[in-house]
Structure 1
């Protein structure tokens, strides 16, 4: 009886413990899963895209390939050990390895090549530098795409808000059409015009919603997220200006030290080294070589050990392609030098024009803002007079259309300035500081 009671109590305890674990495990598991952010800041979007963009991975792979080529060139000056085994007919000897039967090893070390190895290392190292700057360049282009998409979302969200305000205003006007018709405050033609304007406002709102959805979808693809941006952060202008250069002169300094011009300069160094290599193509290469072999003696029907240590000097004596290689390398060097000059000119032009556009779009946005406020006050006054029957709908319709246009133009001008700021940050290699 006592044993049965004990077993019953133990069973109740086990069931209670199992029930507690069942109830608490899902909560604990949910707590262990990191919560995904509900929205993305610009910094987060840039950081996530830098990890996900395949184009950046491709550029990094190209850099790894250049580093592997540099490693190969460096190892040319390390001792080289190879084994061989031959069976052939010919004169017995170790000079060129031709003998009846032999096996052995060859240890060689390059000692002098008239600077060709040094130039090969210089060229390979410059290619590594160029590929490294190429990674930065691709990252900048990718970040520009993300930042512009982010700004498109913010711009579309503001435009959508303006479109909704316009639609609500026309809905309120349309709601009183029947009353105004009965009291002869408007004509039948004006009533039809109000309905048409309301329909156009709905269509405009739908178009802006589509623009917003497209931008959000693109950001979602680029960042593998929901594509929703954070609205509670500091204004985007404040975030961008925190990283901006203070003057055009400073912007040009950053731009000329940026990845594109540095990559072109590295390519020029590589082309210069490759020209030196082409000029030395017909100069001899001197190596110390040691050979240890086991040679089969047919007369004695036995194997004999033999070895040799000496210098090997090799040099091409005649070949028509060497002159062509030299001419090609010289042309590549001229093209690389012109490429640096062209890149410097393009960067200077782009940086200067971008800086000027920022100022111009800022002034344009301020002007549009002033026009918007003036039209808003005028619209409010006309709306009151329209409600009293002192103004026709055609009079208020024109002013309200101008107000809506001014609102959208002010939003567009502000975001054009923001996009030029982002472009300047890319040109100066400062957009990466967001990450």
Structure 2
């Protein structure tokens, strides 16, 4: 909606924090992205090409005014096949030409141009899918970075507490400085993790900002998304849907149709062209005894006889272009089928990892609690505690990443099948 765009621009100008839901981000990207606007303008411009070609089927009327001065009794010495008589005169009139028949060549070329314009509109739809996929990827990546930052902050806080405890025990001669060093190493590792997570927030924000179609640096606040746990039981249904609905394949289909129309027009190049010609006008002044009014009409028939096998070469070129486009469409269909199957398998695997990672987090937390209890009782070493801390952090990071990785892959799969419903 228009008010979303206005609100977005106002917040940019005022430097305020931008709050977006995923649906608002998608709509904003479609309204603001310059690449989509450029492709849409190009598609509209391509529609005018058909009108330009089809104009040759309409009457061509033009007016003119001619004035000339010539020597008495002069003749043309060189020039075209026109009257050799030169006279001084002033004349004005109009000329009319109308194509009567070219055996459908002009109409077929206009139809081909219109079909290509329709194909370009399918290209706009393809770009729309890519932009929406980029928005979803940036949105979920930012959510993942935010979750990783929360994990890192909790890890730093927990390990700082361990460092403080071990340092106090070392001062009381109950623990060695080696234990303090191990605890500080683990703390530094957590701080590095936090730094990387904060950098990922900035990077994901930049990606999302670019996907929204702006270059202004902006702080973006987004809402978490519920996890959609439903996936089709089989990828082949999605493959069939993608082959039917993906705009790239529809674009290739239209390009093949346009090339076939061009081929049909090339096949009648050796047919005659019949045109009607007419002219009327006045000679308000002329040298000699000439009538004041003039007019003429005629029919012109142009028959190609020989042009160095030009038409044959153009027909062969058109045939080969049709064949090339058909093979390109077949190759694109193979690629789409592969991509749909790949994204489906990756999304299904990511969903399976969600459950496994949750179990891993639960076991890692239990191991950390036991290791910390053993260490406090003097039954375990700092190495055992450090290993438990690392395992728990790795499990938390994997769990946070898996959730949003699944959503990213599921979103990508949605656009792989042409923005269908999953």
Same fold by TM-score greater than 0.5: yes
1:430 positional shift: 1.4
Report the CA distance shift for 1:51/1:96 in structure 2 as closer, same or farther (over 3 A): farther
- The alpha-carbon deviation at position 385 of structure 1 amounts to 2.1
Aligned residue for 2:305, secondary structure, equals: coil
Most deviating of 276-285 and 112-121: 276-285
Kept in 2, the 8 Å contact 1:126–1:266? The answer is yes
Quote the residue 1:40 is aligned against.
20
Instruction: Compute the displacement of 1:117 (Å).
Output: 2.1
Which residue of structure 2 aligns with residue 381 of structure 1?
370
Query: May I ask how many residue pairs the two structures share in their alignment?
Result: 392
Q: 2:282 matched to which residue of 1?
A: 294
C-alpha distance in 2, partners of 1:99/1:370?
103
Shift of 1:282: 2.8
User: Does 1:344 pair with 2:338?
Assistant: no
* 8 Å CA contact 1:218, 1:227 repeated in 2: no
Aligned partner of 1:304 among 289, 292, 315: 292
Does 2:200 align with 1:200?
no
Which residue of 1 is the match for residue 48 of structure 2? 68
- Alignment deviations for residues 10-60 of structure 1 (CA, whole Å, 9 cap, x no partner): xxxxxxxxxxxxxxxxxxxxxxx9998841111111111111111111111
Question: Which residue in 1 is equivalent to 2:99?
Answer: 110
**Aligned counterparts of 2:61 and 2:339: Cα–Cα separation in 1:** 54
Structure-1 separation of matches of 2:408 and 2:414: 10
Distance 1:408 1:99 in 2: 95
1:360-371 alignment to 2 at 5 Å?
360-371=349-360
Aligned positions of 1:153-232 closer than 5 A: 153-223=142-212, 224=214, 226-231=218-223
1:313 to 301, 311, 335: 301
Indicate if the aligned counterparts of 2:18 and 2:219 stay in contact, CA closer than 8 A.
no
1:63 and 1:131 in contact (8 A); partners too: yes
Match for residue 21 of structure 1? none
Change (3 A) 1:138 1:355: same
Say yes or no: does 1:421 pair with 2:410.
yes
1:50 corresponds to 2:30: yes
Q: Is the 8 A contact 1:186 1:392 kept in 2?
A: no
Match of 1:254 in 2: 241
Contact 1:46 1:143 in 2 (8 A): yes
Give the distance between the partners of 2:96 and 2:187, measured in 1 at CA.
89
User: Which whole-Å CA distance do the structure 2 matches of 1:367 and 1:174 have between them?
Assistant: 31
* Structure 1 counterpart of 2:7: none
Residue 390 of structure 1 is aligned with which of 367, 372, 379? 379
State whether residues 102 and 271 of structure 2, in contact with CA within 8 Å, keep that contact through their aligned partners in structure 1: yes
Deviation for aligned residue 1:299: 2.2
Structure-2 change in CA distance of 1:356 and 1:347 (3 Å): same
* Structure 2 gaps, min length 5: 1-9
Contact 1:79 1:110 survives alignment (8 Å) = yes
Superposition CA RMSD, Å: 2.8
Q: Which moved more, 1:157-166 or 1:82-91?
A: 82-91
Structure 2 CA distance for aligned equivalents of residues 234 and 415 of structure 1: 9
Alpha-carbon distance between aligned partners in 2 of 1:76 and 1:99, rounded to the nearest angstrom: 33
User: Are the equivalent residues in 2 in contact too, given 1:40–1:227 (CA < 8 A)?
Assistant: no
Distance 1:96 1:294, change over 3 A: farther
For residues 413 and 85 of structure 2, the distance between their equivalents in structure 1, rounded to whole angstroms, comes to 71
Q: Distance in 2 between the 1:328 and 1:262 partners?
A: 23
Match of 1:81 in 2: 61
Q: CA offset at residue 381 of structure 1?
A: 1.9
Report how far residue 99 of structure 1 moved: 6.9
Q: Deviations over 1:71-123 (max 9, x none)?
A: 112222222111244559669xxx97997455421222222111212211221
Superposition deviation, residue 153 in structure 1: 0.3
User: Contact (CA 8 Å) 1:186, 1:393: kept in 2 or not?
Assistant: no
TM-score (norm 2): 0.84
Higher alpha-carbon deviation: 260-269 or 184-193 = 184-193
Which runs of 5 or more residues in structure 1 are unaligned? 1-32
